[in-house]
């Protein structure tokens, strides 16, 4: 669990000349020459057409795959982190997968409790209390004892969110969180992520730095402050929404007008 506050002068994420390759096929380049800096408290949306490597890119940002070249620092430390000794630093970054990617053998509440039980920071009662509050806040109480196979896809995505929030990360990466959601679920996600970026009680009231990927930028216009686009092996860092709207890049206009 993130105990030490991040130094505000150090960028949260900093990529310099990074080349990202596909996790399943390392011969496929997803993005190259990526220079990108994310500061504490920012809320980024990375837009990209479908099947252009958003998941691979976000997994590289999350330190789940190594960049083929270039340097990538997370809160001042070189990524990726696999060593046990630096794991506490690595756990300041949470990851929500598209579809949740839950452990099929565990129930919803066991999935949420898993990181807390594994890393052993809390007592059994504290874990139970924390899981209960995460279930309530994500409206998952009715499915607490169900296995993921018996829970709808929209709700599985929320379980993934609750599990990622269990360790109170300072930075949260979300892979296409709105994919396949109806209007009600979409509104809930946008509202909840907005609260997280401003500071929510479930993460100790501190603003969480957020990076989401999306194949449609329009729903995010009111909520996120910073925009980037991934297209043709390039990460186009646009900045704010005004810059995005003024951009001459075709892909940006497509993602804004879909």
Partner 1 sequence: MQEAGSTTFAAPPSRARKRWKLPRFYSDFVGRQVFAFLLALHGVGAFALITLGVLLRNFRVAQPVIRPLIAREIHRAGVQLLPMFFFAAVALGFLVIGQTVSWLTRVEAANNWLGNIMVIVVVREIGPLLTALLVLARVGTANVVELGTARAMGEVEALEALGIDPVHYFVVPRVAGMAVGVFSLTVYLILGTLVSGYLWVFIQEVPLLPGDYFRQLAGALGYMDFALLALKTCAFGFIIAIVTCYHGLAQPLQLNEISRATVRAVGQSTVACILLDALFIILYLAA
Which residues between 151 and 170 bind partner 1 (CB under 8 A)?
160, 163-164, 167
Residue with tokens 């096929």: 25
Our finding on whether 149 is near partner 1 (CB under 8 A) is no
Q: Would you say 163 or 227 has its CB closer to partner 1?
A: 163
Rule CB under 8 A: is residue 117 a binding residue for partner 1? yes
Site string for partner 1, 212-251 (x = CB under 8 A): ----------------------------------------
41 lines the binding site for partner 1 (CB under 8 A) = no
Query: Do residues 217 and 255 touch, judged by C-beta distance below 8 A?
Result: yes
114 binds partner 1 (CB under 8 A): yes
Planar angle of CA 222, 224, 227, nearest 5 degrees: 115
The yes or no reply on residue 141 touching partner 1 (CB under 8 A) is no
For β-strands 69-74 and 77-78, DSSP reports them as antiparallel
Q: Residue 103, interface with partner 1 (CB under 8 A)?
A: yes
How many residues interact with partner 1 (rule CB under 8 A)?
Answer: 28
CB of 149 to partner 1, least distance (A): 11
- Please tell me whether residue 95 binds partner 1 under the rule CB under 8 A: yes
Q: Which of residues 19-38 bind partner 1 (CB under 8 A)?
A: 23-24
In the complex, least distance from residue 75 CB atom to partner 1, rounded to whole angstroms: 15
Q: Of the two residues 75 and 229, which places its CB atom closer to partner 1 in the complex?
A: 75
Token pair for 181? 């959601």
- Residue numbers of the site for partner 1 (CB under 8 A)? 23-24, 59, 62, 64, 84, 87, 90-91, 94-95, 97, 99, 101-104, 114-115, 117-120, 124, 160, 163-164, 167
């Amino acid at each position: 669990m993130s105990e030490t506050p991040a130094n505000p002068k150090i960028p949260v994420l900093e990529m310099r000349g990074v080349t990202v390759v596909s996790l399943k096929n390392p011969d496929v380049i997803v993005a190259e020459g990526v220079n990108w800096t994310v500061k504490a408290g920012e809320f980024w949306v990375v837009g990209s057409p479908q099947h252009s490597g958003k998941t691979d890119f976000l997994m590289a940002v999350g330190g789940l795959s190594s960049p083929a070249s270039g340097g990538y620092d997370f809160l001042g430390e070189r990524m990726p982190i696999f060593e046990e000794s630096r794991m506490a630093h690595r756990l300041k970054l949470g990851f929500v997968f598209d579809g949740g990617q839950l452990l099929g053998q565990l129930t919803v509440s066991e999935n949420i409790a898993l990181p807390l039980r594994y890393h052993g920071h809390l007592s059994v009662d504290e874990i139970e209390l924390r899981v209960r509050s995460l279930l309530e806040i994500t409206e998952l109480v009715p499915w607490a004892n169900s296995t993921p196979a018996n829970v709808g896809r929209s709700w599985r995505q929320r379980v993934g969110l609750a599990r990622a929030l269990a360790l109170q990360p300072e930075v949260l990466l979300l892979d296409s969180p709105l994919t396949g959601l109806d209007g009600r679920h979409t509104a809930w996600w946008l509202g909840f992520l907005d609260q997280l970026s401003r500071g929510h009680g479930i993460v100790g009231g501190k603003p969480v730095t957020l990076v989401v990927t999306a194949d449609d930028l329009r729903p995010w216009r009111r909520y996120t402050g910073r925009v980037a686009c991934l297209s043709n092996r390039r990460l186009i860092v646009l900045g704010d929404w005004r810059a995005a709207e003024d951009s001459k890049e075709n892909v940006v206009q497509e993602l804004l007008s879909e």
